[in-house]
Amino acid sequence: MKARKPLTFVVLIVIVAGIIIYLTSGSNQGIFTSNADRIPPGTPKKVQEQIKELDSSAVNVRLDAISELAKQKRLATNAIPFLIDVLGDFTPVEWSHSVDDVDARIKTTPANEAYKALDIINENWRDTKDAKEAVDRFIATLKDKGISWRVRINAAKALKLFKDNRALKPLIDSFNNTDEVLEVRKQSAYTLTKFGGEQTVDAFIVSIQSDDILREFSVNQIVKLGEIAVEPLIALLDSSDSNIKISAMHALKKIGDIRAIEPLIACFKDSNEKETINLVNAFEGYPQHARVPLLAALKSDDYNIRKGASKALWRIKWRPENEKERITFLIAAQKFKELKEIGKPTIKPITALLSDGSVKIRKNAADTLVKIGWKPSTQIEKINYYLAARKWSKLVKIGKPAVKHLIAALGDETLEVRENSAISLGRIGDPRGIDPLYRMLNDKHSYLRKTSVEALTNIGGDRVVEMVISCLYDENFEVRVSAAGCLGRLKDVRAIDPLLASLKDESEQVQIATIAALKKMGYLAFENLEVSVGHRDWFIRKTSVELLSHLKGSKVTKLIIDAMKDDDWVVRRTAAHALKERGWEAKNQEKFITYLIATLNFEQLVDMGQPSVEPLIELLYEKNPGTRKSVLWALSELRDRRAVQPIISLLIDPDYETRADAAIALGKFGDLRAVDPLLKLRNSEKSLTVKNAINSTLKILLGNDYKDALNE
C-alpha cells in the first residue's frame, strides 16, 4: 500500500494538468468538442475526411482541413456546424499553404480561417440553427467565471464573428465589470466595436466617465465608431471632471466631425490651462473646416474664447494676411506689446477693450492706449478708461454719470474691482446704488459684505437702516462689527433693540462696537434702555446702566438709583460707580446703605451699626459666594441676634465654603439655637473644612460640654 501512494499522486497530477491544459488552451477543444460521429448521412466522403481532421491536435492539420473544406464550397454545407465550433480556436500559428499554386506563409488562427471558409461555403451561415446555438454557448462561456480567463477571451473574440445582437448585453456587462480580468474586458470592447450602435457608444461613454483604468482605451475604441459617437462625446465637454473633458477632446479630434467645432470653441470659455492645451491640439483634427469658426471666435465677447481661438488658429498654421487681421489676432492673443508697436490703427479696437470682461485686459488696454498717446475725450470714454485703469477717485469726482457703470462693475470677476466699485458708489451717495449694494450683502466674500454695509451707510436713507440691521446677524464677526458701527452713524431708533440684542454677541469686538453705537444714539435710546435695564440677562442690564450714565436728567438718575438694588452685584456696582461719576449723594440713610452695599463697602456698613442689619440679611441669599462671605463677616461683627436664624439656613447651602463661613459666623453670636443644627450637619457633612469649622464653633458655644454633646 505504501508503494502505491506515489503512483496515485503522479496520476492525480497528470489528470489535473490535463484539465488545466484543456481549459486554458486556445484550441476549439477548450470550449467545444468535435465528434466524427455527428457527421450527417449523405455527406460527401472527402468532406467527411476533412471534418475528422478538424479534431486533430496539430494546428496545421486543422488549418489544412479548413482550407480544403472551403474549396468544396456548397458541397461542404454539412461541415458548417463543425467549422462554427472552430470559431472558438484562436491558437496563433504561422501556416504554410498554397494560394493559386504559389506557396505562402501567413500568421493566422483556425478561427480566422474557419470564418473565411464559412463565408465561401454559405454566406448565410450565421442564420443557421448551429450558428445560433454556438452564440449561446459562447455567451455562456463569456459569463462563466469558473472557466479560464483565456478561454473567456476566445469566447469574446468568437462573438465578433457572428454579430448576433443577443451578444451585445453580455459583452457590455463583461466590459463594464471592473472585477473582470482586464484582458477579457478589452477583448469584449474590441468585439463591441464590430457591433457598433448606440448601446456600444453608451458603454464606452460610461467607461470614459467612470473608469480611470480603461478611460484612454475607451477613447480609442469609441473613435472607431465614428459619427454615431460625436453627440455623446460633445455632451462630455460639459463635464466638471477635467480628465473626462480632455478624453472627449481627444476622441473628437480623431473622429474629425465638423459638428464638434463650435462646442470645442465654446469650451475655451471656462477651460483651465491643461484643458486649453488639449483644446488647441484638438483643432488639428479640423485644419480646414475650423478656420472660419475660429476667425469668428477672435471677435467673441469672452476673452478666454478669443485667446483660445488665436492659439488654435496658430496651431492649424493660419496666419493673418493683412493689418486688420493682424490687429484682430493680436487683440485676441492679448499681445499688447505688439499692438503698441503698430500704433494708432489699434486705438479703436483697443478702446473697445476698456469694457472687456477681464480686469487684466482692461488694465493692459488702458496702459497701452496711454503709451500710444491716446487721451479720453468724451465722458463715456473717461468713465471706461478710469474703470479700466482703476482710478476710483476720478470716478467719484465724475459722480452720478458714473453710477450705472460702477453698478455694472459690482458683477466683475475680480474682488478688487467689486470692492472699489462698492466704495465708490457709497462715496457718490446716489440712491440707485442701494439695491445693487444690498444684493452684495449675500456675496461669499465677507470683506465685500463689510464694504457694502459701509457703502450703504454712506448713501443713507430709510431703506438702508433695515438692510444694515440684517448684517448684525452675519456669520462673520467683522461684518457684524461694521454693521454695529454703521447703525451708530445712522442713529435710527429701529436699530436700538437689535443693537441691545447684539450685546450678547459671542464676539467681544462686536460687543464693544455695539456699545459705542448705542452711545451715539444718545436720548434716542432712552425708552429702550428704560426697558432693557430690567432685562433678564445681567450683562444687558449692566451695559444699559453704563449707557444711561452718559445721559443727563432726573429720569435717568432714578433708573440708575433703582439699578443699585439689582439682583446681580456687578450691575449694582456699575450703577453705584455711575452715580458717583454724576456727583450723586445719598439724601437719606436707606439710600446710603444701598450705595454701600452696591460698592461692597462692608466695613462702613458695620460702622453704620443696627440700620445695616436687615439689608445685610437680605444679601445672605446673593448668588455670588464672595458676596455672601463678606455679608457673613459683617453680620458676625454686628452680632445682631436677628441674623442667627437666617445664617443657620445657610448651613445647608450647596457651596461648602458658604457652609463653613456660616458655621464660623454662628460662633461669634454665642446663640445656643445654632447647636442642634450644627450637630445635625456635623453627622452628615463630608467636607473636612466644614467639619473643622463646626467643631470650632461648637467648642465656643458648648465649652466643657462639647465632648458630651458629641457623644450624644
Regions of the chain with pLDDT less than 70: 1-36, 98-102, 709, 711-712
Percent of the chain with pLDDT over 70: 94
How far is Cα 82 from Cα 70, in angstroms, rounded to an integer?
Answer: 13
Give the pLDDT confidence score for residue 712 in this predicted structure. 63
All cell numbers assigned to 272 = 483651465
Write out the DSSP string of 603-615: HHHHHH-GGGHHH
Q: DSSP labels for 615-660?
A: HHHHHTT-S-HHHHHHHHHHHHHHT-GGGHHHHHHGGG-SSHHHHH
pLDDT at 587: 86
pTM summary value:
0.65
**What are the pLDDT digits (tens) for 29-63?**
444 444 467 888 888 888 888 888 888 888 888 88
Which among 472, 477, 619, 598 is positioned nearest to 545, based on CA atoms? 598
Q: Under a CB-based contact definition with an 8 Å cutoff, are residues 287 and 316 in contact? A: yes
| Residue spans of alpha helices (H) in 196-346 | 197-210, 215-224, 230-236, 242-255, 261-267, 273-282, 291-297, 303-315, 323-332, 336-342
Separation of alpha carbons 423 and 482, rounded Å: 14
* Dist CA 341 CA 83 (whole Å): 77
Amino acid, res. 249: M
Using DSSP, state whether 7 is helix, strand or coil: helix
Fold of 600-712: Leucine-rich Repeat Variant (1.25.10)
Report yes or no: 156 and 187 within 8 Å, Cβ to Cβ: yes
Tell which residue, 582, 579, 581, has the closest CA to residue 594: 579
Report how far residue 564's alpha carbon sits from residue 561's, in angstroms, rounded to the nearest whole number: 5
DSSP string, 514-565: HHHHHHHHGGGGHHHHHHHTT-SSHHHHHHHHHHHTTS-SHHHHHHHHHHTT
Q: State the Cα–Cα distance between residues 137 and 40, nearest whole angstrom.
A: 21
> Which among 304, 344, 311, 305 is positioned nearest to 327, based on CA atoms?
344
Q: If you search the block for the grid coordinates 464660623, which residue do you land on?
A: 664
Q: Is the alpha carbon torsion for 331, 334, 335, 341 positive or negative?
A: positive
Residue type, 694: I
